[in-house]
Amino acid sequence: MLKTPLPLGSTIGILGDGQLGRMLSQAASRLGFKVVTFGPDVGSPAAQVSLASKVAAYTDEAVLARLAESCDVITFEFENVPAASLDFLTGKGAVVAPSSKALRITQDRILEKDFARNAGVWTVDYFPIDSVEDLGNAISEHGPGFESALLKTRREGYDGKGQIWIRKGDDIEKAYASLGHRPAILESKASFTREISVVAARGWNGEIKTFPIGENHHVGGILSTTLAPAQVSEAVTAEAHEIARKVLEGLDYVGVLAVELFVLPGDELVLNEIAPRVHNSGHWTQDGCLCDQFEQHIRAVAGWPLGDTSARCTVEMTNLLGADILDWPTLAAEPQSRLYVYGKDEPRAGRKMGHINRIK
């Protein structure tokens, strides 16, 4: 735990080396911190903009021990970092935020939903699935009116990967096999009218700041656009902010997280998932807010005062996937917009290569 703010020039370690690590590193360096990134890839997006980078597996204890020694605080940008690596760092005397407890819960869709319900946050109905028999039983529990439900792996799913819709009459053995017989969760279908997310931060001293709500559109399970601040009622905004507070306090969380929510008819909110890190749906804050989500995360883990989260304008963030990035000359010439490029070599289909924030 940090009792006093990190002094100017301190060193922050980041586990994970993708675009989120890159933008965290840039925000940290703006505040005068030095950044060491840690991840498996040489020349990664984060390594390109950091003082130093350690290229190793997340389980490499020798390299983790050196990281613990050289950093004043260590954080992460990737939720599939092993929670045991965070425990190892803490055991070596490192200050780590968010905690391994928060990571463990949010890495597992069942623990996450159990946590949310205990914290007083509503979720869809869900059933743990460890066999085809469990799947059959869970579908029976839906009753004769069953139309469809979503089968997801418990762990390591992202961008719509590791999920399959099960419809009435489907071959459930085949469906479960398509997820590699891994531990899974069957979720009842949320008949939502909109998808929104709330990005929020909590400091070591319990201070909380919440960004305005973003409205998200997915294509093929991958976030395509976020429009923020979203056109939602004051009641929805207040409820979403309250959900973020319950999650942050329930996890005793330090740093930025995102809560993805389904808006049901009648404006009832249901939690979909918690991302224990800065989030793609918060990229709009880079141009929409005085303090963006990346700076806010650095401030939170460094024990600095949290920044101003109020919106300055409306922004539409669009992800640039795969070959979209090849349009950069046109995108870079657009007025009222700002282009972000992640420095990845290969524009493979569906790969997040950059994003553009358009002021509306």
79 binds ligand AMP (CB under 6 A): no
260 binds ligand AMP (CB under 6 A): yes
Residue with smaller CB distance to ligand AMP, 195 or 295:
195
The residue type of 176 is Y
Shortest distance in whole angstroms from residue 16 CB to ligand AMP = 18
Shortest distance in whole angstroms from residue 185 CB to ligand AMP = 9
Shortest distance in whole angstroms from residue 108 CB to ligand AMP = 13
Site for ligand AMP in 267-326 (CB under 6 A): 272-273
Among 72, 108, 187, 324, contact with ligand AMP (rule: CB under 6 A): 187
108 binds ligand AMP (CB under 6 A): no
208 binds ligand AMP (CB under 6 A): no
Among 124, 179, 186, 317, contact with ligand AMP (rule: CB under 6 A): 124
Stretch that binds ligand AMP, among 96-104, 182-190, 336-344, 346-354 (CB under 6 A): 182-190
91 binds ligand AMP (CB under 6 A): no
55 binds ligand AMP (CB under 6 A): no
Among 7, 91, 206, 221, contact with ligand AMP (rule: CB under 6 A): 221
168 binds ligand AMP (CB under 6 A): no
Residue with smaller CB distance to ligand AMP, 25 or 272:
272
Residue with smaller CB distance to ligand AMP, 137 or 224:
224
- Give the whole-angstrom CA distance, residue 138 versus residue 161: 22
* Interface ranges with ligand AMP (CB under 6 A): 124, 150, 157, 160, 187, 189-190, 195, 218, 221, 260, 272-273
